A and B are shown apart, each in its own frame.
Chain A
Amino acid sequence: MSAAFSGSLAIVDTDDGQMIACQSCERPLVATGQPWKPNAAVKELPMHGAGGGAYESADHVVLRQFYCPGCGALLDTETAMSDDPFLNDVINV
């Protein structure tokens, strides 16, 4: 692995060039310079109760979770209303 993209994603050199990959299993998701979230597994939980009892007052909002399709590692989360677009992070290296 050459560098980090985040605490859960790495930037790796592959035959297809530099890719953003899962840090846990090194599965490549997308070429650098592109948003990676469309290639992740996505699940939306109601925020209500998502992290325990203190989340009971949460309403109108979901916890969007992005998983590695290879190993199931949780790569990122977003607080979102269900029609909100993904927050896309792009790195140019």
Chain B
Amino acid sequence: MAVDPITFSIIRHRLYRVVDEAVITLKHVSGSAITNEGHDLMVSLYRADGSLLMGGVGFLHHLTSAAEACKAIIRRFEGRINEGDVFLLNDPYTAALHTSDIYLVAPIHHNGQLVAWSACFVHVYDIGAKNPGGFCPDAEDIYTEGYSSPGVRLVNKGELNQDVLDTLLNMVRSPEMVTLDIRSMIACNNVAHDRMLSLIDKYGYDTVDEACSQLIEQSEQQLRARLRELPDGTWESRQYLEVLDEVYKVNLKMTKSGDELVFDFTGSSPQSKYSVNCTQWASLGGLFAPLFPLICYDITWNEGCISPIKMIAPEGSIVNCTRPAPVSVATVGAIQSVNNAACTTIGKMLQTSEKYAKEATSVWHANHFAIFKFGRSQRGGEAIGIFTETFAGAGGARTYADGVDVGGEIPNPISRMANVETVENTFPIRYLFRRRMTDSGGPGKYRGGTGMEFAVVQHDSPDGGMHYVVSGKGANFPMSEGLAGGYPGAPNSYQWVHNNEAKAEGTNVDVRGTQSIEEMPGEKEDVTWGVFPLMGDDALYVRWNGGGGYGDPLARDPDAVVEDVVGGVVSADAARDVYGVAINQSGNGHDAEGTAAMRSSMRSARLVLEAAE
């Protein structure tokens, strides 16, 4: 029998709150910056069969793969799943994205019957991979990417299996931090369990169960109805990944017909010898990360949103690699490429609709950089941590507005970066500067949001410095694609500035007083993949991409361009050469006639070119 609409709404909102409260618990108990500062986490609720019931916030790539994790545990432990159990799973070939993102999934029983699951993940402090922090540019295969489990019982009827936990802790760096990560996830699942049961106690199991079924049915109907409002068609996109001298492509053709969407990755590169590959569950999560917020922004994220969607990902390709290919860099590698490619095709489809064009977006922060610093802290302990700046992102331009500068990213609505002071308090490093990067936002009628640039040196390190692991998709390709004529955001850049050598050769520039990479005396070396030192006066300079632009840059309001130049986010050169705006002598306005003339001649030049061809 259908649940009355008011009770249905109350239960739906209570389910949201269950997830919210579990997320808060996770953050309160976890001690690591990647969880607390970067918000690299996820909590969701699942039905008794493992299907998605209530997708939570955090990294949206995980909503569908954690469903697969629940299903894998159900298959493995069938008949042996007890009240109070918690299972750990982090094998990417079973369900996880990479070994560092450990899933803890917990059954929720009511009167002895399995009624639901909660699942969460954090990127644990370390997983025992070849490189500290889990992203592993030196991995040749999955066997060198640390501890990996296709499913193990961590908590048995409410009692921690200390031997299982100790086995994991025995294989990782900084076990005291990893145990905190694990315990934060146990606490998170406990809270989800308790709140879910109090919901059932209040409304009765039958009512809650029926409301959950209705909720999934409602989502499916709403998504199918929305798809029927959009035209049928096919839209294509392409993303590049580069590791050292190897270039890989992720090709996507998205076909919408009736109330279904097919994402076809045929033609993508074969799997790589490097760890940028991803497994099929990861690709599925990657395409849902933009789909949930862009198409299902007012639809409950659950199994009903998954039914109308199909994915074709050729086996043995970079988006569906086969064991034992390494995948530790997947989350900033092929998964993010899938997510970017899907963001573009979805945006292209949405902009055909007057009703939904405002939901379309150019690609946001398309090139995550995983840079983990490691070594001894100023207090002598072991310290490993990501530069959380990668979570600060950059917004893509929309059909009606600029992208938000340093505006986050699509797949994680709550991501953010740590304060400089927090990082300097925890690691023996000093920031020289951190600010918005000029010209990084993709030009367009609406400009992509900027990324940033920053530089760090070691400071007060007991060992004279630290090291860092760099991985990602390289720095040669812009990846935050624009729409409707908008340019892509600028590419990333990572540079090792060799100030020590410059000092030895007699430069008297005080590196610690420099405010830009240009002021630094040392030679600049591109570093995109591997382990590098941060010793003495050497600096690490990082610049990250802006969001993609929207529309023709020559159609941008010239006053907005002036404002960008005054604010330092667009250079005077780009204002002239890309936007066709004649900035006046004082630099605070533009010459309207000059701008009109320049734009007219730039448009004519485009046509002259056609005649020449």
Contacts and interface: CB of A to CB of B under 8 A. Distances in A.
B307 interface: no
A77 B610 contact: no
Nearest to B610: A41
Contacts of A60: 242, 247, 476-477
A79 to B, nearest CB: 5
Contacts of A72: 602-607
B279 interface: no
Contact of B603 (A9, A57, A73, A75): A73
Nearest to A87: B236
Contacts, number: 171
A31 B332 CA distance: 40
Contacts of B577: 52
Contacts of A84: 238
B439 A73 contact: no
B465 interface: no
Contact of B477 (A41, A61, A89): A61
B272 interface: no
A51 B569 CA distance: 12
B121 interface: no
Given A60-B476, A61-B477, A91-B232, A80 B238 contact: yes
Contacts of A80: 238
A90 B348 CA distance: 10
Contact of A54 (B240, B247, B546, B609): B546
Contacts of A7: 351, 357, 360, 399, 445, 483-485, 550-551
B606 A77 contact: no
B484 to A, nearest CB: 3
Nearest to A67: B606
A72 B236 CA distance: 24
Contact of B574 (A51, A56, A88, A90): A51
A5 B352 contact: yes
A47 B609 CA distance: 18
Most A CB contacts (10 A, CB to CB) among B233, B442, B481, B570 go to: B233
Interface string B451-485: 00000000000000000000000011111011111
A79 B233 contact: no
A75 to B, nearest CB: 6
Interface string A3-29: 111111100000000000000000000
A20 to B, nearest CB: 11
Given A43-B606, A60-B476, A79-B477, A74 B439 contact: no
Contact of B609 (A9, A43, A79): A43
A16 B326 CA distance: 54
A13 to B, nearest CB: 15
Contacts of A51: 439, 442-443, 487-488, 490, 574, 578
Nearest to A66: B485
A56 B495 CA distance: 13
Contacts of B35: none
Given A53-B439, A79-B238, A92 B233 contact: yes
B593 to A, nearest CB: 19
A71 B234 contact: no
B586 to A, nearest CB: 21
B553 A52 contact: no
A2 B477 CA distance: 37
Nearest to B357: A4
Given A7-B351, A90-B234, A77 B475 contact: no
A76 B606 contact: no
A79 B610 contact: no
Contacts of A93: 231-232
Contacts of A89: 233-236, 348
Nearest to B600: A72
Interface string B331-362: 00000000000000000100111100100100
Across the A-B interface, give the 3 residue pairs with the lowest CB-CB distance, nearest first.
Answer: A52-B439, A7-B484, A52-B574
Given A8-B485, A52-B570, 8 more contacts: A7-B484, A41-B609, A50-B487, A57-B491, A60-B476, A75-B552, A78-B238, A79-B238
